[in-house]
Amino acid sequence: MGDSFDFKEGEVLLFDKPYGPTSFSIVNRARGIIKRKLNVKKIKVGHAGTLDPLATGLLVICTGKATKTIMGIQDAEKEYTGTITLGATTPSYDLETEVNETFPINHITNELIHQTAKDFEGELDQMPPIFSAKQVDGKRAYDLARAGKEVKLNTKRITIKEFEITSISRSEDKVEVNFRVACSKGTYIRSLAFDLGKTLNSGGYLSTLRRTRIGNHHVDDAITTDQFQFLLHGDGLENS
């Protein structure tokens, strides 16, 4: 089956990124597998939108002439599922950093969560997290944030098409909100988590995130890099 690919002419490959690795490392491994298959030193490979290391799910990788379609894929609507934890905040708006402040949650009813989520649907101006890849004076915002320096970012106009609350669970000090979001390019789900908590007069951070769709590409059709390796080579060895 691995012989049916034409990587130089161009392929659009769907990968299911696991928790932990960077998007770049997944691209690197895919490139190494392809180079070994073709017995070449170079092959054009790129991805259509990064996922944070702590996120899982769909990563679209294009090869050869198909890399010309990357911009179009990046512009497509995205869909995510995940969990927002209410009752605390972290500087990165997710689990990359530790909780820095806690907030009351007793006033937050399930009805209020559902109602507030609906208020986020539509166009809105969103502030990116300071722990993001945004450029600030030629440097990445997350590098400045990790160095303890002040980071000033501008809001960006985004669209939340759907913000569905799928389930809610509670403990003494937190509320965990499972969700599904369909949104435009450039939307930070971490910022959505933070803003939801703030709007609820509490705190919020993103505790899990999985990208399930980019345009017409769905994670159900994706494979792991191990499966890709086996598909092309039938073994677990590679030279990148």
pLDDT of amino acid 1:
44
pLDDT of amino acid 155:
87
Same domain for 203 and 114? yes
Q: What is the pLDDT of residues 125-148, one digit of tens each?
A: 998 887 666 666 666 666 666 666
pLDDT of amino acid 153:
72
Q: Which domain holds residue 114?
A: 78-214
Q: What is the pLDDT of residues 136-194, one digit of tens each?
A: 666 666 666 666 666 677 789 999 999 999 999 999 999 999 999 999 999 999 999 99
Could you tell me the pLDDT band of residue 234, with boundaries at 50, 70 and 90? confident
- What's the CA gap between 66 and 40, in Å, rounded? 18
Tell me whether residue 52 is one of the annotated catalytic residues.
Answer: yes
Same domain for 195 and 93? yes
CB atoms within 10 A of CB 71: 9
Output the domain CATH number for residue 104.
3.30.2350.10
Instruction: Answer whether residue 236 shows pLDDT above 70.
Output: no
Dihedral sign, Cα of residue 117, residue 122, residue 125, residue 130: positive
Same domain for 227 and 204? no
Secondary structure string (H, E, C) spanning 37-68:
HHCCCCCCEEECCCCCCCCEEEEEEEEHHHHH
The helix (run of H) or strand (run of E) holding residue 197 is helix 189-199
pLDDT of amino acid 175:
98
* Residue 238 placed within a domain: no
Contact 111, 212 (CB under 8 A): no
- What's the CA gap between 86 and 170, in Å, rounded? 9
- What's the CA gap between 90 and 197, in Å, rounded? 12
Could you tell me the pLDDT band of residue 240, with boundaries at 50, 70 and 90? very low
Same domain for 58 and 7? yes
- What's the CA gap between 12 and 68, in Å, rounded? 11
Structure-block tokens of residue 108: 């937050």
Same domain for 135 and 207? yes
**DSSP string over 133-179:** S-EETTEEHHHHHHTT-------EEEEEEEEEEEEEEE-SS-EEEEE
37-41: average pLDDT: 94
Dihedral-angle region of residue 99 (phi above 0 means left; psi in -120 to 50 means alpha; beta otherwise): beta
* Residue 128 placed within a domain: yes
* CA proximity to 203, closest of 112, 117, 128, 91: 91
Same domain for 204 and 224? no
pLDDT of amino acid 42:
94
Same domain for 83 and 167? yes
Same domain for 41 and 101? no
Same domain for 153 and 67? no
State which amino acid sits at residue 38: L
Structure-block tokens of residue 222: 């994706």
Same domain for 63 and 90? no
* Residue 240 placed within a domain: no
207-223: average pLDDT: 98
Same domain for 223 and 210? no
* Residue 66 placed within a domain: yes
Q: What is the pLDDT of residues 53-96, one digit of tens each?
A: 999 999 999 999 999 999 999 999 999 999 999 999 999 999 99
* Residue 167 placed within a domain: yes
213-236: average pLDDT: 93
Instruction: Answer whether residue 2 shows pLDDT above 60.
Output: no
Q: What is the pTM of this model?
A: 0.91
* Residue 130 placed within a domain: yes
Structural domain count of the chain = 2
What is residue 70's three-state secondary structure? Answer: helix
- Tell me whether residue 169 is exposed, middle or buried, using C-beta atoms within 10 angstroms of its C-beta: 0 to 12, 13 to 18, 19 or more: exposed
Options 3, 6, 16, 52, the catalytic residue = 52
Radius of gyration of the chain from its Cα atoms, rounded to whole angstroms: 20
pLDDT of amino acid 135:
64
Ranking 124-128, 160-164, 211-215, 220-224 by mean pLDDT, the lowest is: 124-128
Contact 100, 89 (CB under 8 A): yes
pLDDT of amino acid 238:
53
Angle, helices 23-38 vs 225-233, to 10°: value is: 0
* Residue 239 placed within a domain: no
Same domain for 104 and 153? yes
Contact 121, 204 (CB under 8 A): no
Output the domain CATH number for residue 54.
3.30.70
* Residue 168 placed within a domain: yes
